[in-house]
């Protein structure tokens, strides 16, 4: 989803503001804002729980539909080779 779509969903939710989500889920609002630009595991999960939207819908480039994380610290996950 686009950042504007996520922010609109936040405003329509019972939380209404990012600091409310931050307080409820134990992350900082700075981490929530950073999640729009780069991977932030805790913030991504907080958004998902607060908005009741699966992670792979919020960030399809970061999460698979099976719940597997596709990126780590901004880099694509490298598949390990069988030895």
Residue entry with tokens 């729980």: 49
Count up the domains in the chain and report the number: 1
Whichever domain contains 63, its CATH number is 1.10.260.40
Q: Indicate the pLDDT class of residue 72, thresholds 50, 70 and 90.
A: confident
pTM of the model: 0.81
The mean pLDDT of 18-23, rounded to a whole number, is 94
**What are the start-end ranges of the H helices in 13-81?**
18-25, 29-34, 41-51, 55-58
In a domain, 82, yes or no: no
The residue segments making up the domain with residue 56 are 3-76
Q: What is the pLDDT of residue 67?
A: 87
């Amino acid at each position: 989803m686009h950042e504007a779509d996520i922010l609109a969903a936040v405003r329509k939710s019972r939380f209404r503001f990012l600091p409310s989500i931050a307080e409820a889920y134990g992350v900082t609002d700075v981490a929530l804002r950073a999640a729009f630009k780069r991977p932030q595991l805790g913030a991504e999960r907080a958004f998902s729980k607060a908005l009741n939207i699966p992670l792979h819908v919020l960030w399809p480039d970061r999460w698979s539909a099976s719940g597997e994380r596709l990126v780590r610290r901004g880099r694509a996950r490298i598949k390990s080779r069988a030895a």
